[in-house]
Amino acid sequence: MITIRPAHERGAANFGWLDSRHTFSFGNYYDPRHMGFASLRVINEDKVLPSQGFGTHGHRDMEILTYVLDGALEHKDSLGTGSVIRPGDVQRMSAGTGIRHSEFNASDTESVHFLQIWILPDTEGIAPGYEQISLAPADKQGQLRLVGSRDGRDGSVTIHQDVNLYAATLAEGDRVEHALAAGRVAWVQVARGAVSLNGHDLTAGDGAAISDLDSLSLTGTAAEAEVLVFDMAA
């Protein structure tokens, strides 16, 4: 079964400096029909104006992933970590027993566009942690590249949950397939462009929940599409 979450039905928040779209309930947006999917709790698509951002704030017991589409996002946290996240980078921050961090647009002229993803951890009270990887464009061109996993295999970031996260960029006509084992579900999020998912047309911002299927087929239907695939325990 494939259930589509259309981009235009997402929650919205616009604070001037921040324009955000919420796939699942978040902040002042609450919809009991959309509280998450399996261990996936938040997918926010954020656009932040130059030199603006989120001041220092705290989190606990959450796996937080940041995936930048355009621009550059500067991160600082109470672990002493400081980095700039750019397209091709994947950042994982484990909030665990508690962490404080800030995120600001690193440019004073260009906006930054990114996805922030929250995954519920399988164990609460772990030590806070941080990890970041960088991918070359070829690493995910026309293929599903593992970027996050429970065991950090194949150079992916470690997620403290039974989740395999893949990223792909697809030119028009590119096709990738992914098998789902028994007891697994998936979420597909279209970050940009347009794709066909098992015959369903999806465009930027659309998501889809997949259950009771044994395989996914994604075909690029635009000049360039970028997608995330979450393969999770049901």
Query: Which residues does 110 contact at the CB level (< 8 Å), separation at least 6?
Result: 50, 70, 71, 72
Q: Which amino acid is at 69?
A: L
Name the residue among 223, 232, 135, 222 with its Cα closest to residue 178: 232
Distance CA 197, CA 224 (A): 15
Q: Read off the pTM.
A: 0.96
Looking at 1.10.3720.10, 2.60.120.260, 3.40.50.300, 2.60.120.10, the CATH number of the domain 137-233 comes to 2.60.120.10
CATH superfamily of 10-134: Jelly Rolls (2.60.120.10)
| Under 8 Å between Cβ of 227 and 191 | yes
Name the residue among 54, 43, 64 with its Cα closest to residue 18: 54
Do domains 10-134 and 137-233 share one topology? The answer is yes
Adjacent-strand bridge partners of 202: 195
List the chain residues with pLDDT less than 50: none
Give the single-character DSSP code of 182: T
Distance CA 179, CA 174 (A): 17
